[in-house]
Amino acid sequence: MKHSFDIVVVGAGPAGLAAATAVAEAGRRVAVLDENPRVGGQIWRASLSKVARDRSKERAVARFEASGAKLFSGHQIVDGDAAGALESWVAATQSLETFSFERLILATGARERFLPFPGWTLPGVFGAGGLQALVRSGYDIRGKRVVVVGTGPLLLAVAAHLKQDGARVVLVAEQAPLSQLMQFGLSLITRPGKIVQGLSLRAQLANAQYRTGCWPVAALGDGTVTGVRLSDGSRTWTEACDLLACGFHLVPNTELATLLGCEVGDHGVVVDADQQTSVASVYCVGETTAIAGVDAALLQGRIAGLAAAGRASEARTLHMQRDAERSFGRRMDRAFALRKEMLTLAMPDTIVCRCEDVRFSQISQAAAPGNGWTNAKLQTRCGMGPCQGRICGPALNALFGWKNTSVRAPLFPLPIAALCSSPLATDDATTLVTQEN
């Protein structure tokens, strides 16, 4: 199937919704594509469990729905060309659909960064945001003892939500030292809203411990996690738990941007004041450009939407506010910067690439001077599994400074049928057989 729009937005999180709304309100034909069945992205993910109403989501979604933008959910982008078309895979119909556009706005968001430590592959160990998403989609964690470890503002938010969903949050262990966070907190004096949010999250956690300056050294358990060993640099101790949620801040999803030829820097896709990338027809917004939170995402979305619709000047008034949000993001990066101990958690036999079970010792052997990601990948198979380095890539970037630049279409696995002439039908194999007989 082929569709044609003036502007196509990829990603229906806050940034993508804001962008599409602005485009549609400016009178241009716009489509929003997202892999998920519902709008919201990660932070506004739909939930089976009862979560408190989020008024900013409700407002944004209502405005989006009224705007005339067209939503295509269940569409996963697998290929694209900055010159004007995207290919999306629609699992529901097992088919590829093509979207042509004049301008493209990428709002593909971010994912959690994982750092390998002994035991992190045990069942019961989750990404922090991952556990939250799984709970929202029906995982029942009532009564379970949860320890949340890692770094970043997400830890507190996740812990608060897990508690609402009936978990017993035993401990939230933030690796950043208090002094570093304090500096960050002080620099927030100009941004009272953010602090209040942090404080109320803290209050919701009530009797759970929030400890800074400590980190996981090993997840313990045989077959499933039963505890976690933690360290604060001078002392190590064990906390018993049923679930371990870990997240080491976020990394932008830059695969599609890379495939389209957009320049990607250390923090994400490089954009100018109008959110335009190095490829003129492509804009990029939200966490994909740098991790800066939902407020930045909403502003960036609006700015890009107006710019792509040819009304860049109307968005100028928002630039200052957007820049302030982005500098908030940069301060956050500094506040939650990884301490050096985080980069030495992996033991020689710790699995780094989960798809292929490549261990740290294999990778460090391949890490001779002059060698980078490509060499390690070819010699050890790390990053060659179905996730194509989405998990081990950022870890190895943190550990060795390597960049995974080898992005190829399809961006996500597809059935062979999707790439050949005849579509997939369940009784295909038998039809062919009988024809031949």
Partner 1 sequence: MRDGTAVNAAMIGLIVNGEALQVRRGSTVAAALLNAATACRISESGEPRTAVCGMGVCFECRATVDGIAQQRTCQMECRDGMVVETQR
Partner 2 sequence: MKPFDVVILGAGIVGSACAYECALAGMRVAVVEPAVPAGAASAAGMGHLVVMDDSEAQLALSHFSRELWRELREALPQTVEYEECGTLWVAADAEEMEEVLAKQQRYANSGIASEMLDERALLEAEPGLRHGLAGGLRVPQDGVIYPPTAAGYFLSVAQQRGAQLIQGKRPVRAAEGEVVFEDGSRLSAGWIVIATGTDTSLCPWLKIQPRKGHLVITDRYPGVVRHQLVELGYLKSAHSVSTDSVAFNVQPRKTGQLLIGSSRQYGELKRKADPEMLRRMLDRAVEYMPSLKQLSVVRVWTGFRAATPDKLPLIGPTPDSTVLVAMGFEGLGITNAPGAAKLVLHHLTGAAVPMDPMAFLPSRVARAEAVHA
Helices (H), 165-284: 178-186, 192-205, 255-259
Which one of 122, 133, 312, 409 is in contact with partner 2 (CB under 8 A)?
409
For residues 248 and 114, the answer to whether their CB atoms sit within 8 Å is: yes
For residues 319 and 302, the answer to whether their CB atoms sit within 8 Å is: no
Q: Does 357 bind ligand FAD (CB under 6 A)?
A: no
Q: Does 404 bind partner 2 (CB under 8 A)?
A: no
- Among residue numbers 8 through 67, which ones bind partner 1 (CB under 8 A)? 35-37, 42, 48
**Residue 187 CB: number of other CB atoms within 10 A?**
15
Q: Which option in partner 2, ligand FAD, partner 1, none does residue 405 bind, with CB closer than 5 to 8 A by kind?
A: ligand FAD
Residue from 16, 15, 20, 41 nearest 30 by CA? 20
| Cα 212–Cα 217–Cα 223 angle in degrees, nearest 5 | 125
Which one of 122, 384, 409, 417 is in contact with ligand FAD (CB under 6 A)?
384
Min dist. Cβ of residue 400 to partner 2 (A): 15
- 315: tokens are 């968005």
- For partner 1, give the closer residue by CB, 29 or 354: 354
For residues 170 and 177, the answer to whether their CB atoms sit within 8 Å is: no
**Residue 265 CB: number of other CB atoms within 10 A?**
11
Calpha distance 392→403 (Å, rounded): 11
Which one of 224, 321, 405, 431 is in contact with ligand FAD (CB under 6 A)?
405
Min dist. Cβ of residue 131 to partner 1 (A): 7
Calpha distance 110→373 (Å, rounded): 21
Calpha distance 77→29 (Å, rounded): 19
Q: Does 1 bind partner 2 (CB under 8 A)?
A: no
**166 conformational bin, left if phi > 0, alpha if psi -120 to 50, beta if neither:** left
Residue type, 41: G
> Contact region for partner 2 (CB under 8 A) — 45-53, 58-66, 197-205, 427-435?
427-435
- For partner 1, give the closer residue by CB, 13 or 305: 13
> Contact region for partner 2 (CB under 8 A) — 9-17, 42-50, 153-161, 375-383?
375-383
Q: Which option in partner 1, ligand FAD, partner 2, none does residue 123 bind, with CB closer than 5 to 8 A by kind?
A: partner 1
- Among residue numbers 63 through 102, which ones bind partner 2 (CB under 8 A)? 79
Min dist. Cβ of residue 348 to partner 2 (A): 16
Q: Does 421 bind partner 2 (CB under 8 A)?
A: yes
Calpha distance 173→150 (Å, rounded): 6
Min dist. Cβ of residue 254 to partner 1 (A): 13
- For 391-402, give the secondary structure using H, E and C: CHHHHHHHHHCC
The residues of the shown chain that bind partner 2, judged by CB under 8 A, are: 79, 370-372, 374-375, 378-381, 384-386, 388, 408-410, 413-422, 424, 428-429, 432-433, 436-437
Summarize as ranges the residues that interact with ligand FAD (CB under 6 A): 374, 384, 388, 405-406, 408
